[in-house]
């Protein structure tokens, strides 16, 4: 199963994001959505699970949950916006991965058998960081994260 992983759109939906996510079976948005229209556009690509971030303070985005647990191919994934707010042990909770955003810096690593995956930001550029989205392939006992660097002017 291929999952699109996005974060920190801050109200901006780029056409390059739609192109990068073509063919995914589900999309997770890890907060700082900014405008509900972003979720509506993502939902035209695939079903969406979204959480709120620190900028999602009004309207429909403010009603999103702070965290979420999703199950794909028998693997539980924990979604939150800011990793510094993680107040549980993902390995003890049997999560296969923790997906998060907030920093706008894309990266992934494993700790105690748990994948930690930040897709970066596909919203307005921040500092000199590139515009990125993530893909997560979930199959059997393996999670394969990828970061896609988008060409945006």
Task: State how far the Cα of 97 lies from the Cα of 110, in Å rounded to an integer.
Answer: 9
Token representation of residue 40: 């509506």
Question: Would you state the pLDDT for residue 134?
Answer: 98
pLDDT at 153 over 70: no
What digits encode the pLDDT tens for the residues 59-112?
999 999 999 999 999 999 999 999 999 999 999 999 999 999 999 999 999 999
Looking at the structure of the chain, the number of domains it has is 1
Token representation of residue 126: 């921040």
Residues 6+ apart with CB under 8 A from 81: 7, 30, 31, 32, 51, 52, 53, 54, 66, 100, 101, 102
pTM, rounded to two decimals: 0.96
Residue 104: which CATH number? 3.60.21.10
CA 85 to chain centre: 16
* Structural domain for 108, as ranges: 2-149
């Amino acid at each position: 199963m291929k999952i699109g992983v996005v974060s920190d759109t801050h109200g901006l939906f780029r056409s390059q994001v739609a192109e990068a996510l073509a063919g995914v079976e589900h999309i997770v948005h890890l907060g700082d959505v900014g405008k509900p229209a972003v979720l509506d556009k993502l939902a035209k690509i695939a079903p969406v699970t979204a959480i709120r971030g620190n900028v999602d303070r009004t309207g429909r985005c403010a009603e999103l949950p702070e965290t979420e647990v999703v199950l794909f191919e028998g693997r539980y994934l924990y979604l939150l916006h800011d990793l510094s707010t993680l107040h549980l042990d993902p390995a003890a909770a049997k999560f296969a991965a923790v997906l998060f955003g907030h920093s706008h810096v894309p990266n992934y690593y494993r700790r105690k058998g748990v994948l930690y995956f930040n897709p970066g930001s596909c919203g307005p550029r921040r500092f000199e960081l590139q515009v990125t989205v993530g893909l997560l392939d979930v199959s059997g006992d393996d999670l394969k994260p990828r970061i896609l660097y988008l060409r945006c002017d």
